[in-house]
Amino acid sequence: MAELVTTDTRATAPGEDVPPIPGEVAELIRARAGEQLAPLVHGLFRSSLVLAPVPGGDGADRGGGTEGADGRAAGSAGRLGGLPALPGGTDWPEFSGRPMQLLAQLDCAALAEAHGTTGADSGPDSGGWPLPADGLLLFFHDEWLADFTGRGCRVLHVPAGAPPRPAPAVERGTPAVPAVPVRAARALSAPSYQDRELERLFPDDFLVALDLAQDLAEHLPRPAVRLLGWCDTDTGRPEGHRPLLQIDSGVLAADWGECVNVSFWITDEDLAAGRFDEVRHGFEIA
């Protein structure tokens, strides 16, 4: 058995309330890690929200006409794609002189409700739900995927209620993606073999971490769109950052060439403070 690790390896956000670990998953962890290390593996689990298309949604919500004053379609927690509800005086984000593509517009209150935290338990300073309690989160990225430093993205937290902003005219491509209304559901999220937090628990035998990660991947869902939690893909992991949002290309009618997913990453400090100006971009090429 590997030597017991005594350093603090818990990788949840401060005060984060994590869903219960299913009994069969707990048994797998004990079988692989042993009784001493199993609690440390449990401590790595994170809470997340799975975003899935609203049943029966036909994509008719293009960013205008079917949304309420809160900027989302009825019964949803927001949408992927569409046009952003940018308040007056807020410019459409650009990268290298090109307008970015809106990948998601999410309603913070609906997300907090789906997570099971509302009111005083919501907001970056609450110790519970780590994202803002109200308004909208807008996720933009550079659809050319031309920047490998992680700066080809922008996340804005804006008040709800602004009308959809028409897409800027561009010579090549378009920043608009057909909208997909989504609903949110809370879900457990586990690290993969690429996450150092799991690897560090087994310094004498990396294969234990590899096998354990495979067990967890087979018994926990890997959604197309996840908010928070751990990264479900093989994209690079920016040092000192955790996933904020990850989107599989198959859920959007967007042409990203050989790119199979994109992700947004944030530091623990920025997440706790509700800052989004230093969010980083990641993507995986097939």
Contact 30, 38 (CB under 8 A): yes
List CB contacts of 34: < 8 A, sequence separation 6 or more: 1
Per-residue pLDDT of the chain (286 residues; tens, 9 = 90+): 232 232 333 344 444 578 889 999 999 999 999 999 999 999 999 999 999 999 876 544 444 434 444 444 556 999 999 999 999 999 999 999 889 999 999 999 999 999 986 555 555 444 578 999 999 999 999 988 888 888 999 999 999 999 999 988 876 666 688 999 999 999 999 999 889 899 899 988 889 999 999 999 999 989 999 999 999 988 888 889 999 999 998 898 888 888 899 999 999 999 999 999 999 999 888 7
Give the model's pLDDT for residue 15: 45
Span between the terminal Cα atoms of the chain, in Å: 37
Look-up of token digits 């809160």: 70
Give residue 259's identity as a one-letter amino acid code.
C
**Pairwise CA distance, residues 237 & 1, whole Å:** 28
The residue assigned the tokens 């004990």 is 30
Residues 219, 199: Cα–Cα separation, whole Å: 19
Within 10 angstroms of residue 93's Cβ, the number of other Cβ atoms is 21
pLDDT, position 176: 82
pTM above 0.75, yes or no: yes
pLDDT of residue 172: 67
CB atoms within 10 A of CB 203: 11
Residue type, 256: W
